[in-house]
Structure 1
Amino acid sequence: MSQPELPGWRWGPFTFRLPFYHTRFYWQEALQGFFVAAATGLALIPIMTGAFGLSFEEAVAVSMLHSILIGSALIFFGEPYAPGWITPALPLVLTFVLTGYEDPASRFQVMTALSLNFAVLLVLLGITGLGKKLVLWLPDTLKAGIILGAAIAAVQRVFVGDGSQPALLSHQPVSIMLACAVCLIFSFSLPMQKLKERHKLVALIAALGLLPGFFIAAVVGPMVGEISYNIQWGILIPPVGDAFAKMSPFAIGWPSWDMYIKAIPLAIITYVILFGDIVTGNEVIRDGLSKRHDEHVDINPTRTHLSVGIRNALLGLFAPFFPTQGAMWTGVQVIIVQRWAQGKQAMNSLHSGLISYYLMGIPLLFFLKPLLTGLQPLLYVALALTLMLTAFACAYVAMSIPRNNTARGTVLVIGAGLAFFDPWTGLGLGVLATLLMVGWDRNPDPIPHED
């Protein structure tokens, strides 16, 4: 018999769960979360410092605000998903912002426009229930093209760059190539899957996610002269006020109507990706519930739409950098649900495991100067790893959707259009190519397990 969900303080459709009071602390999840957050949470800093005019310390402050907002999904809103970036949208966003706008102020303004557009879309689709209908209405070929466009844009940013930013590979070629190779092999290689089944050590290394690639880059980088460390001791107080003065619309002015209009297609594209994440998260939880009959987990699409919408609105107003406020980080969700599914003795509640992974909402990482300065030379590696793993995963998902060769070729055309043109042109090309080449090929039941 399923028990009630872990209690908390209800407010509207949301549930506030106070860490250490409502949820238990699990050091196993906290330890993983601390190191993985260190490896991935700071990946945007090279972009913030190189293209948006922030100092390293200001970029750390922005990352800290993003981290606090991400953790709020669990603590303030009561979501049952491990929150993270909407990573497949990131390369498309960077291409749109960095190639379309020259100065840091206008780039931050269009990031605000993206976040607020996305927030309004989520709230409207969540309250009306039209979100699922929109995604079911879109044809499979167009959805696959959107996902492949993210893969192409990610690969372009790593290997080619664009007019405003050089390729990431040009900064630390050997370190980045080795790190990407190690992570791709441990994450996706079929021969490596067989080794993981036979050898526990290999499985353990693979479970560390980005860290093996980081370790290789950290060791080899100094040997080839690409990386040098300047570790500083002490505590860093992130200069939130200084960052706010350079990026918030309250300080630098609001986006123009033209920015809001140009940002609409990217909000729609990002929503399609987000909806896929929510469906995936639901299926992961349902699989865990088949083994855990002692805890009820409330899956509420309206609450999820509203919570992601509110977080994106706050992001756009105070620390605009779209799209870091998504619903789910798939890899983390799977890891935590797997341990939760082992029983109450392993984890009393899914919410306890999730909140522990996010360090009970306490952003320790951003105050530790030795860790921040030690990681600073590796941040290009972090961004390249994030983009390459996203590209690989998006490519195989996109290519698994088309059901014939004409659709596969059309998916490539749509993906290239979205990666290389502005969002309105790319989306218009995608709709036209779909209609002319394959027709409106929507699947009447693409999510058979969704309620």
Structure 2
Amino acid sequence: MSRPELPGWRWGPFTFRMPFYHTRLYWPELLQGIFIAAATGLSLIPIMTMFFGLTFEEAVAASMIHSILISSALIVFGEPYAPGWLTPALPLVLAFAIGIGEDPSLRLQAMAALSLDFALLLFVLGVTGLGRRFIVWLPDTLKAGIILGAALAALKRVFIDDAERFLLQQPIATGLACAVCLIFAFSLPMQRWREKYRWVALIAALGLLPGFLVAAVVGPLVGEVDYNVQWGILIPPIGDMWAKMSPFSIGFPSVGLMLQAMPLALITYIILFGDLVTGNEVILEGQKNRPDDHIDINPTRSHLALAIRNALMGVIAPVFPTQGAMWTGVHVIIVQRWKQGREAMDSLHSGLISYYGMGIPVLFFLLPLLTGLQPLLGIALSLTLVLTGFACAYIAMGIPTNNASRGAVLMIGAGLAFFEPWVGLLFGVATTLLLVGWDTAPAPTADELKVVDPRRAGLEQEG
């Protein structure tokens, strides 16, 4: 018997659901939120400290702001997806922002420009309903090239651009972490083991965590990791972070920089659209088992919520693209337990909020956990980028249907990975027109954009 969606406090098109009052606490989701988020949610800290002029404590404060905004998708806006980063766009974003200049303030202005451009784009496309038409209009070859460009940029960041800072300083621990995660997430022989042995499936469902734990154990044994755990409570220095990051302190991006960032915002929207379709399909498939728990899917609300979150991030702590729609691995895992019935999970909203609203904010005040993770964060970043590169590559290579398209996809991907975003995008359009033609599909079907294979679990971070 169907029932109305879990109640909350309505405001405009959104629904505020307070933890414990409107939603129940589920311990499995809470524990996953604490430990898996610890392994992935802080992995941008090395980037913020090395390239954007923040101290470790200030980067923790920025990560806390990002996580609060991510959790707001569920608590404040009432979204039914497990939110996370737009990870495939991350390597392209880093190349753009770091390439702007040596001044950390200018790089942060570039991040703010991307965040504000993306927010404006989401608002316009969401309110007018033009978002779906835009994706339908784009040719498949160009879409595949954009995804492959993200893959090449991710691997270039790990193995070339920042190899001396991360990979070469911890080669054994990083290599083992990447190997374990790649095998459990993508290996075809391991997939047969997952179907045969439940314990293998449970390890694979943890996403990045198994590889991260292997690095945490092996790293000290080979002299690549040196722990310096400190006890106590950390009060994140939000004021100091604001002074170094917020456009209200360092200045807003120029109109020229906003225009320069717009092509990359468009590229990121293409990635986002696939995530939204994926999230909807996962929920609709689960709804067959749970007709008693109605879930409201509202694309306009999702666009507006994402626009607000990205705009707030852009004026408080701009690190793009940490405010995406979905972390596929977590979304699939929570929906799977929700499908088991009311005894396992009374409401999908309760399971989601248990993972995010009750787990993630705790991390940023626990000094032993933060200092214990600090020497592993470079490994976590490399791991995130390598798995993102692998996943984006196999998705992109599955889209072309002929040799001309496959060659064009490689050229477009290289153009986006090595050139400025607007140059890469223009190069991609020209390559598509000259080599393939405007090969627009009739419509992006659910199967084309659906990426719910459990082998991808944990890749979209928040991941």
Query: Which range, TM-score by smaller chain?
Result: over 0.9
Across the two proteins, how many residue pairs are aligned to each other?
448
- Name 1:376's counterpart in structure 2: 374
Alignment match, 1:281: 279
Specify the alignment match of 1:322 in structure 2.
320
* C-alpha contact 1:171 1:380 (8 A) present in aligned 2: no
Question: What letter matches 1:142 in structure 2?
Answer: L
Letter in 2 for 1:305: H
> 1:305 — aligned with what?
303
Structure 2 Cα separation of the partners of residues 149 and 362 of structure 1: 31
Q: 2:263 is matched by which residue type in structure 1?
A: P
1:230 aligns with 2:228: yes
**Over residues 144-200 of structure 1, what are the superposed CA-to-partner deviations in whole Å (9 max), with x where a residue is unaligned?**
0000000000000111116xx846312211111110000000011000011112222
Alpha-carbon separation, structure 1, partners of 2:69 and 2:357: 13
With structure 2 as the length reference, what TM-score do the two structures score? 0.95
Ranges in structure 2 where 5+ consecutive residues have no aligned partner: 450-463
Is 1:292–2:290 an aligned residue pair?
Answer: yes
| Identity of matched residues, % | 71
Question: Deviation of residue 128 (structure 1)?
Answer: 0.1
Alignment check: 8 A CA contact 2:278 2:446 kept: no
Deviation digits for residues 121-142 of structure 1, max 9, x if unmatched? 0000000000000000000000
Query: Any conservation in 2 of the 1:70–1:83 contact (CA below 8 Å)?
Result: yes
1:193-235: CA deviation from partner (whole Å, max 9, x where unpaired): 1111222222222122111111111111112211100000000
CA contact (8 A) 1:147 1:415 kept: yes
* Whole-Å separation in 2 of the counterparts to 1:431 and 1:362: 41
User: What secondary structure is seen at the aligned counterpart in 1 of 2:273?
Assistant: helix
Task: Assess if the C-alpha contact under 8 Å between 1:122 and 1:308 holds in 2.
Answer: yes
Equivalent in the alignment of 1:217 = 215
The structural deviation recorded for 1:361 is: 6.8
Decide which moves more: 97-106 or 130-139.
Answer: 97-106
The CA distance in 1 between the partners of 2:387 and 2:268, in whole Å, is 18
Q: Is the 8 A contact 1:68 1:361 kept in 2?
A: no
Distance 1:2 1:435 in 2: 50
**Structure 2 residue matching 1:363: 3-state secondary structure:** helix
How far 1:254 moved relative to its partner?
A: 1.1
Structure 2 SS opposite 1:15: strand
Aligned partners of 2:297, 2:199: CA distance in 1, in Å? Answer: 35
Give the AA of the match of 1:408.
R
Q: Which residue of 2 aligns with 1:78?
A: 78
Find the counterpart in structure 2 of residue 415 from structure 1: 413
Instruction: Give the Cα separation in 1 of the matches to 2:194 and 2:171.
Output: 29
Secondary structure of 2:15 counterpart: strand
Q: Could you tell me which residue of structure 2 aligns to residue 168 of structure 1?
A: 166
Alignment of structure 1 residues 30-109 onto 2, 5 Å: 30-109=30-109
The AA in structure 1 aligned to 2:182 is: L
User: For 1:10, what is the secondary structure of its paired residue?
Assistant: strand
- List gaps (5 residues or longer) in structure 1: none
Aligned mates of 2:337, 2:255 — CA distance in 1: 48
Q: Give secondary structure in 1 for the equivalent of 2:87.
A: coil
Deviation at 1:448, TM superposition (A): 4.9
CA contact (8 A) 1:159 1:167 kept: no
Q: 1:171 aligns to what SS in structure 2?
A: coil
Output the CA distance in 1 between the equivalents of 2:200 and 2:290.
28
- TM-score calculated relative to the size of structure 1: 0.98
- How has the CA–CA distance of structure 1 residues 448 and 184 changed in structure 2, closer, same or farther, with 3 Å as cutoff? closer
Q: Say which is worse superposed, 292-301 or 193-202, in terms of deviation.
A: 193-202
**Structure 2: how far apart are the matches of 1:33 and 1:263?**
33
Q: 1:448 to 1:195 in 2, by over 3 A?
A: closer
Residues 364-412 of structure 1: CA distance to partner in whole angstroms, max 9, x if unpaired?
1000000000000000011011111111111111111111111011000
Residues in 2 aligned to 1:103 and 1:173: alpha-carbon distance in whole angstroms: 29
Q: Give the 3-state SS of the residue equivalent to 1:360 in structure 2.
A: coil
Is the 1:417–1:429 contact (alpha carbons within 8 Å) kept by the matching residues of 2? yes
For 2:354, the equivalent position in structure 1 comes to 356
